[in-house]
Protein backbone atom coordinates (compact mmCIF):
# COMPACT_ATOMS: atom_id res chain seq x y z
CA UNK A 1 0.00 0.00 0.00
CA UNK A 2 1.30 3.48 -0.93
CA UNK A 3 2.61 5.35 2.13
CA UNK A 4 2.46 2.27 4.37
CA UNK A 5 0.07 1.59 7.22
CA UNK A 6 -1.33 4.53 9.23
CA UNK A 7 0.14 5.13 12.71
CA UNK A 8 -3.21 6.26 14.06
CA UNK A 9 -6.84 6.11 13.05
CA UNK A 10 -9.78 8.14 14.36
CA UNK A 11 -13.38 6.99 14.01
CA UNK A 12 -16.35 9.17 14.90
CA UNK A 13 -19.47 7.08 15.34
CA UNK A 14 -23.10 8.18 15.83
CA UNK A 15 -25.72 6.71 18.17
CA UNK A 16 -29.19 5.56 17.07
CA UNK A 17 -32.84 6.02 17.69
CA UNK A 18 -35.51 3.37 17.04
CA UNK A 19 -38.19 5.12 14.97
CA UNK A 20 -40.27 1.96 15.25
CA UNK A 21 -39.88 -1.04 17.54
CA UNK A 22 -42.27 -4.01 17.78
CA UNK A 23 -41.61 -7.06 19.95
CA UNK A 24 -42.71 -10.21 18.16
CA UNK A 25 -42.04 -12.77 20.90
CA UNK A 26 -39.42 -14.62 22.93
CA UNK A 27 -37.22 -17.32 21.39
CA UNK A 28 -36.27 -20.53 23.17
CA UNK A 29 -32.89 -19.03 24.12
CA UNK A 30 -34.56 -16.07 25.86
CA UNK A 31 -33.84 -13.48 23.15
CA UNK A 32 -36.75 -11.37 21.93
CA UNK A 33 -37.53 -11.22 18.23
CA UNK A 34 -38.14 -7.64 17.11
CA UNK A 35 -39.01 -5.63 14.05
CA UNK A 36 -37.39 -2.24 14.29
CA UNK A 37 -36.49 0.77 12.16
CA UNK A 38 -33.19 2.28 13.26
CA UNK A 39 -31.71 5.61 12.26
CA UNK A 40 -28.39 7.15 13.29
CA UNK A 41 -28.55 10.43 15.23
CA UNK A 42 -25.83 13.11 15.43
CA UNK A 43 -24.52 12.47 18.94
CA UNK A 44 -21.10 10.88 18.58
CA UNK A 45 -18.41 8.94 20.39
CA UNK A 46 -14.86 9.11 19.01
CA UNK A 47 -12.39 6.24 19.13
CA UNK A 48 -8.70 6.88 18.46
CA UNK A 49 -6.55 3.82 17.74
CA UNK A 50 -2.79 4.22 17.71
CA UNK A 51 -0.04 1.79 16.86
CA UNK A 52 3.10 2.03 18.97
CA UNK A 53 5.74 -0.11 17.40
CA UNK A 54 8.04 -0.45 20.39
CA UNK A 55 10.97 -1.18 18.14
CA UNK A 56 9.22 -4.14 16.54
CA UNK A 57 8.87 -4.34 12.77
CA UNK A 58 6.09 -2.26 11.31
CA UNK A 59 5.34 -4.92 8.76
CA UNK A 60 1.82 -6.40 9.21
CA UNK A 61 3.32 -9.91 9.28
CA UNK A 62 5.18 -8.96 12.48
CA UNK A 63 1.90 -8.29 14.19
CA UNK A 64 1.00 -11.86 14.90
CA UNK A 65 1.16 -10.80 18.53
CA UNK A 66 -0.08 -7.48 19.77
CA UNK A 67 -0.62 -5.76 23.09
CA UNK A 68 -3.85 -3.88 23.61
CA UNK A 69 -4.21 -0.90 25.96
CA UNK A 70 -7.59 0.79 26.47
CA UNK A 71 -8.68 4.05 28.13
CA UNK A 72 -11.87 6.14 28.02
CA UNK A 73 -13.13 9.44 29.42
CA UNK A 74 -16.68 8.21 30.16
CA UNK A 75 -18.06 7.85 33.68
CA UNK A 76 -17.53 5.00 36.13
CA UNK A 77 -20.24 2.71 34.71
CA UNK A 78 -18.28 2.32 31.47
CA UNK A 79 -15.95 -0.71 31.78
CA UNK A 80 -12.22 -0.23 31.15
CA UNK A 81 -11.53 -3.94 30.67
CA UNK A 82 -12.79 -6.68 28.37
CA UNK A 83 -16.33 -5.83 29.55
CA UNK A 84 -16.13 -2.84 27.23
CA UNK A 85 -17.66 -3.60 23.85
CA UNK A 86 -14.91 -1.64 22.07
CA UNK A 87 -12.30 -3.98 23.62
CA UNK A 88 -14.37 -7.10 22.92
CA UNK A 89 -14.60 -5.99 19.30
CA UNK A 90 -10.82 -5.50 19.14
CA UNK A 91 -10.20 -9.00 20.57
CA UNK A 92 -12.72 -10.53 18.18
CA UNK A 93 -11.00 -8.89 15.20
CA UNK A 94 -7.61 -10.06 16.50
CA UNK A 95 -8.88 -13.65 16.63
CA UNK A 96 -10.32 -13.29 13.13
CA UNK A 97 -7.00 -12.23 11.64
CA UNK A 98 -5.05 -14.80 13.64
CA UNK A 99 -3.34 -12.35 15.98
CA UNK A 100 -2.32 -13.37 19.49
CA UNK A 101 -2.32 -10.94 22.37
CA UNK A 102 -0.41 -10.17 25.51
CA UNK A 103 -1.79 -8.18 28.45
CA UNK A 104 1.67 -7.28 29.76
CA UNK A 105 1.48 -3.87 28.14
CA UNK A 106 4.86 -2.30 27.61
CA UNK A 107 6.88 -5.30 28.83
CA UNK A 108 6.99 -7.69 25.93
CA UNK A 109 8.58 -5.57 23.20
CA UNK A 110 5.55 -6.34 21.05
CA UNK A 111 3.76 -3.63 19.10
CA UNK A 112 1.09 -1.94 21.24
CA UNK A 113 -2.29 -0.81 19.99
CA UNK A 114 -3.63 1.98 22.19
CA UNK A 115 -7.36 2.63 22.05
CA UNK A 116 -8.82 5.79 23.55
CA UNK A 117 -12.57 6.31 23.61
CA UNK A 118 -14.11 9.76 23.99
CA UNK A 119 -17.71 9.25 25.18
CA UNK A 120 -20.52 11.69 24.43
CA UNK A 121 -23.30 9.17 23.76
CA UNK A 122 -25.27 8.71 26.99
CA UNK A 123 -24.55 5.38 28.73
CA UNK A 124 -27.19 2.65 29.18
CA UNK A 125 -29.62 5.07 27.58
CA UNK A 126 -31.25 3.06 24.78
CA UNK A 127 -29.08 4.79 22.18
CA UNK A 128 -26.70 1.90 21.45
CA UNK A 129 -23.60 3.69 22.74
CA UNK A 130 -21.69 0.49 23.49
CA UNK A 131 -22.69 -1.01 20.14
CA UNK A 132 -21.55 2.15 18.34
CA UNK A 133 -18.17 1.89 20.10
CA UNK A 134 -17.84 -1.78 19.10
CA UNK A 135 -18.51 -0.78 15.48
CA UNK A 136 -15.97 2.06 15.75
CA UNK A 137 -13.40 -0.39 17.08
CA UNK A 138 -13.94 -2.87 14.23
CA UNK A 139 -13.75 -0.13 11.59
CA UNK A 140 -10.70 1.58 13.14
CA UNK A 141 -8.66 -1.56 13.74
CA UNK A 142 -9.55 -3.11 10.39
CA UNK A 143 -7.74 -0.10 8.90
CA UNK A 144 -4.95 0.28 11.47
CA UNK A 145 -4.01 -3.40 11.30
CA UNK A 146 -4.61 -3.56 7.54
CA UNK A 147 -6.90 -6.52 8.11
CA UNK A 148 -8.78 -5.64 4.92
CA UNK A 149 -12.09 -7.25 5.88
CA UNK A 150 -14.92 -5.96 3.72
CA UNK A 151 -18.10 -4.48 5.17
CA UNK A 152 -19.98 -7.79 4.98
CA UNK A 153 -17.23 -9.58 6.97
CA UNK A 154 -17.14 -6.77 9.55
CA UNK A 155 -20.92 -6.95 9.95
CA UNK A 156 -20.67 -10.71 10.45
CA UNK A 157 -18.22 -10.22 13.36
CA UNK A 158 -20.39 -7.36 14.60
CA UNK A 159 -23.39 -9.68 14.90
CA UNK A 160 -21.45 -11.83 17.40
CA UNK A 161 -20.85 -8.78 19.61
CA UNK A 162 -24.41 -7.48 19.99
CA UNK A 163 -27.68 -7.09 18.15
CA UNK A 164 -27.24 -3.38 17.26
CA UNK A 165 -23.57 -3.64 16.24
CA UNK A 166 -24.09 -4.66 12.56
CA UNK A 167 -26.37 -1.64 12.10
CA UNK A 168 -23.76 0.62 13.73
CA UNK A 169 -21.08 -0.64 11.29
CA UNK A 170 -23.14 0.65 8.35
CA UNK A 171 -25.21 3.46 9.91
CA UNK A 172 -27.90 5.38 8.04
CA UNK A 173 -31.42 3.98 8.27
CA UNK A 174 -32.27 0.28 8.43
CA UNK A 175 -35.08 -2.14 9.03
CA UNK A 176 -33.88 -4.83 11.45
CA UNK A 177 -35.54 -8.17 12.20
CA UNK A 178 -34.77 -11.32 14.19
CA UNK A 179 -32.85 -10.30 17.30
CA UNK A 180 -31.95 -7.10 15.43
CA UNK A 181 -28.86 -8.36 13.60
CA UNK A 182 -30.52 -8.93 10.19
CA UNK A 183 -30.74 -5.48 8.65
CA UNK A 184 -31.74 -3.98 5.31
CA UNK A 185 -31.07 -0.35 4.37
CA UNK A 186 -34.23 1.74 4.12
CA UNK A 187 -34.90 4.43 1.50
CA UNK A 188 -35.16 7.76 3.31
CA UNK A 189 -35.50 11.40 2.28
CA UNK A 190 -34.89 14.56 4.21
CA UNK A 191 -33.26 15.41 7.49
CA UNK A 192 -35.05 15.13 10.83
CA UNK A 193 -34.50 17.32 13.88
CA UNK A 194 -34.68 15.89 17.37
CA UNK A 195 -34.77 17.03 20.94
CA UNK A 196 -33.07 14.37 23.03
CA UNK A 197 -33.98 14.22 26.74
CA UNK A 198 -31.31 12.32 28.64
CA UNK A 199 -31.52 10.86 32.15
CA UNK A 200 -28.47 10.22 34.35
CA UNK A 201 -30.18 7.16 35.85
CA UNK A 202 -29.59 4.20 33.53
CA UNK A 203 -32.33 1.72 32.66
CA UNK A 204 -31.30 -1.89 32.10
CA UNK A 205 -32.44 -3.32 28.75
CA UNK A 206 -33.10 -6.85 30.21
CA UNK A 207 -35.25 -5.31 32.98
CA UNK A 208 -37.33 -3.42 30.42
CA UNK A 209 -37.88 -6.64 28.42
CA UNK A 210 -38.86 -8.48 31.64
CA UNK A 211 -41.41 -5.76 32.40
CA UNK A 212 -42.63 -6.01 28.79
CA UNK A 213 -43.17 -9.77 29.16
CA UNK A 214 -45.17 -9.14 32.35
CA UNK A 215 -47.52 -6.56 30.89
CA UNK A 216 -47.78 -7.45 27.18
CA UNK A 217 -47.51 -10.33 24.72
CA UNK A 218 -46.08 -10.49 21.20
CA UNK A 219 -47.31 -7.60 19.09
CA UNK A 220 -48.26 -7.55 15.40
CA UNK A 221 -47.81 -3.80 14.74
CA UNK A 222 -46.13 -3.19 11.35
CA UNK A 223 -43.65 -0.42 10.45
CA UNK A 224 -45.43 0.60 7.20
CA UNK A 225 -46.41 4.12 8.32
CA UNK A 226 -42.84 4.91 9.47
CA UNK A 227 -41.33 3.52 6.25
CA UNK A 228 -43.81 5.51 4.13
CA UNK A 229 -43.05 8.75 6.05
CA UNK A 230 -39.29 8.18 5.56
CA UNK A 231 -39.76 7.48 1.83
CA UNK A 232 -41.53 10.80 1.34
CA UNK A 233 -39.47 12.78 3.86
CA UNK A 234 -42.63 13.82 5.72
CA UNK A 235 -41.64 14.84 9.27
CA UNK A 236 -45.24 15.38 10.37
CA UNK A 237 -46.25 11.88 9.23
CA UNK A 238 -43.13 10.45 10.89
CA UNK A 239 -43.98 12.19 14.15
CA UNK A 240 -47.45 10.62 14.10
CA UNK A 241 -46.09 7.16 13.18
CA UNK A 242 -43.30 6.85 15.79
CA UNK A 243 -43.92 3.64 17.73
CA UNK A 244 -42.17 1.72 20.50
CA UNK A 245 -43.74 -1.42 22.02
CA UNK A 246 -41.29 -1.15 24.94
CA UNK A 247 -42.58 2.26 25.97
CA UNK A 248 -45.29 1.07 28.44
CA UNK A 249 -42.67 -1.14 30.14
CA UNK A 250 -40.22 1.77 30.39
CA UNK A 251 -43.02 4.01 31.74
CA UNK A 252 -43.90 1.38 34.35
CA UNK A 253 -40.30 1.28 35.59
CA UNK A 254 -39.77 5.04 35.26
CA UNK A 255 -43.09 6.96 35.37
CA UNK A 256 -41.34 10.33 34.92
CA UNK A 257 -40.49 9.31 31.32
CA UNK A 258 -44.19 9.62 30.41
CA UNK A 259 -44.11 13.18 31.78
CA UNK A 260 -41.00 13.84 29.68
CA UNK A 261 -42.82 12.72 26.50
CA UNK A 262 -45.87 14.81 27.41
CA UNK A 263 -43.65 17.86 27.99
CA UNK A 264 -42.02 17.45 24.56
CA UNK A 265 -45.44 17.23 22.86
CA UNK A 266 -46.75 20.20 24.79
CA UNK A 267 -43.69 22.21 23.74
CA UNK A 268 -44.56 21.55 20.07
CA UNK A 269 -42.89 18.24 19.13
CA UNK A 270 -44.52 16.43 16.17
CA UNK A 271 -44.14 13.18 18.08
CA UNK A 272 -42.30 11.93 21.16
CA UNK A 273 -41.32 8.54 22.52
CA UNK A 274 -38.86 6.54 24.56
CA UNK A 275 -35.80 5.55 22.51
CA UNK A 276 -35.31 1.76 22.44
CA UNK A 277 -35.40 0.48 26.02
CA UNK A 278 -34.97 4.01 27.43
CA UNK A 279 -34.54 6.02 29.55
CA UNK A 280 -33.72 8.52 26.77
CA UNK A 281 -36.80 10.28 25.44
CA UNK A 282 -36.80 11.87 21.96
CA UNK A 283 -39.08 14.47 20.42
CA UNK A 284 -39.27 15.12 16.67
CA UNK A 285 -39.30 18.80 15.69
CA UNK A 286 -40.36 20.34 12.38
CA UNK A 287 -37.08 22.29 11.95
CA UNK A 288 -33.71 22.92 13.59
CA UNK A 289 -35.09 26.18 14.94
CA UNK A 290 -38.13 24.43 16.44
CA UNK A 291 -35.86 21.81 17.99
CA UNK A 292 -33.84 24.55 19.75
CA UNK A 293 -36.98 26.26 20.98
CA UNK A 294 -38.51 22.97 22.27
CA UNK A 295 -35.18 22.12 23.93
CA UNK A 296 -35.20 25.44 25.79
CA UNK A 297 -38.76 24.79 26.99
CA UNK A 298 -38.08 21.28 28.34
CA UNK A 299 -34.53 21.83 29.60
CA UNK A 300 -35.56 21.46 33.28
CA UNK A 301 -37.37 18.17 32.66
CA UNK A 302 -34.23 16.13 31.98
CA UNK A 303 -30.68 15.81 33.33
CA UNK A 304 -29.32 16.78 29.91
CA UNK A 305 -31.02 17.96 26.73
CA UNK A 306 -29.40 17.87 23.28
CA UNK A 307 -30.60 18.81 19.84
CA UNK A 308 -29.53 16.45 17.09
CA UNK A 309 -30.32 15.53 13.52
CA UNK A 310 -30.86 12.27 11.70
CA UNK A 311 -29.85 10.33 9.68
CA UNK A 312 -26.25 10.87 10.76
CA UNK A 313 -24.49 8.49 8.35
CA UNK A 314 -22.18 5.81 9.70
CA UNK A 315 -18.71 5.56 11.27
CA UNK A 316 -16.41 8.26 9.82
CA UNK A 317 -12.76 7.25 9.57
CA UNK A 318 -9.70 9.49 9.28
CA UNK A 319 -6.06 8.36 9.30
CA UNK A 320 -2.77 9.93 10.29
P1 LIG B 1 -28.87 -0.42 23.67
O2 LIG B 1 -29.58 0.78 23.13
O3 LIG B 1 -28.12 -1.20 22.61
O4 LIG B 1 -29.70 -1.25 24.60
P5 LIG B 1 -27.69 1.23 25.61
O6 LIG B 1 -27.44 2.54 24.93
O7 LIG B 1 -28.94 1.14 26.42
O8 LIG B 1 -27.67 0.11 24.54
P9 LIG B 1 -24.95 1.14 26.44
O10 LIG B 1 -24.62 2.60 26.52
O11 LIG B 1 -24.42 0.39 25.30
O12 LIG B 1 -26.52 0.88 26.55
O13 LIG B 1 -24.47 0.51 27.83
C14 LIG B 1 -25.04 -0.64 28.42
C15 LIG B 1 -24.01 -1.22 29.38
O16 LIG B 1 -22.95 -1.76 28.61
C17 LIG B 1 -23.36 -0.18 30.28
O18 LIG B 1 -24.02 -0.11 31.50
C19 LIG B 1 -21.92 -0.67 30.43
O20 LIG B 1 -21.75 -1.42 31.60
C21 LIG B 1 -21.70 -1.62 29.28
N22 LIG B 1 -20.73 -1.14 28.26
C23 LIG B 1 -19.83 -1.91 27.63
N24 LIG B 1 -19.13 -1.22 26.73
C25 LIG B 1 -19.57 0.04 26.78
C26 LIG B 1 -19.22 1.24 26.06
N27 LIG B 1 -18.24 1.24 25.14
N28 LIG B 1 -19.89 2.37 26.35
C29 LIG B 1 -20.89 2.34 27.28
N30 LIG B 1 -21.23 1.25 28.00
C31 LIG B 1 -20.61 0.10 27.75
Return the residue whose CA atom lies nearest to atom 19 of ligand 1. 78
| 121 φ, ψ (degrees, to nearest 5) | -70, 130
Measured from the CB, is residue 34 less than 6 Å from ligand 1? no
Other CB atoms within 10 Å distance of the CB of residue 126: 28
Q: Using the mean position of ligand 1's atoms as its centre, give its distance from the Cα of residue 62 in Å.
A: 34
CB 153 within 8 A of CB 93: no
Rounded to an integer, what distance in angstroms lies between the CA atom of residue 146 and that of residue 238? 41
CB 68 within 8 A of CB 90: yes
Per-residue pLDDT of the chain (320 residues; tens, 9 = 90+): 445 678 899 999 999 999 999 999 888 888 899 999 999 999 999 999 998 875 555 555 556 677 889 999 998 889 999 999 999 999 999 999 887 665 555 656 678 899 999 999 999 898 999 999 999 999 999 999 889 999 999 999 999 999 999 999 999 999 999 887 788 999 999 999 999 999 999 899 899 999 999 999 889 999 999 999 999 999 999 999 999 999 999 999 999 999 999 999 999 999 999 999 999 999 999 999 999 999 999 999 999 999 999 999 999 999 97
- In terms of Cβ atoms closer than 10 Å to its own Cβ (0-12, 13-18, 19+), residue 300 is exposed
Annotated catalytic residue, options 133, 164, 245, 290: 164
**If one looks up domain 192-310 in CATH, what number appears?**
3.30.70.890
Q: Using the mean position of ligand 1's atoms as its centre, give its distance from the Cα of residue 233 in Å.
A: 31
Measured from the CB, is residue 85 less than 6 Å from ligand 1? yes
The domain spans of the chain are 8-19+42-169, 192-310
Q: Using the mean position of ligand 1's atoms as its centre, give its distance from the Cα of residue 266 in Å.
A: 31
Sign of CA dihedral 118, 124, 127, 133: positive
164 is catalytic: yes
Name the CATH architecture for the domain at 8-19+42-169: 2-Layer Sandwich (3.30)
Amino acid sequence: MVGGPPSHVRVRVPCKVNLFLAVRGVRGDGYHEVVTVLQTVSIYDTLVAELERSGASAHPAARRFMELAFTHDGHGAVPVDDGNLAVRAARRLMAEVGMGTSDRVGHSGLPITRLHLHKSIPVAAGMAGGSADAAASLVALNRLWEAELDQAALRELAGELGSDVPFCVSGGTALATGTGTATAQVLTRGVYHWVVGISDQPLSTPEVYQAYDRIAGPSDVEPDAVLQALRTGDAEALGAALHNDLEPAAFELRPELADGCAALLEAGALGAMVSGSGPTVVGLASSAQDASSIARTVVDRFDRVEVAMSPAGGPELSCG
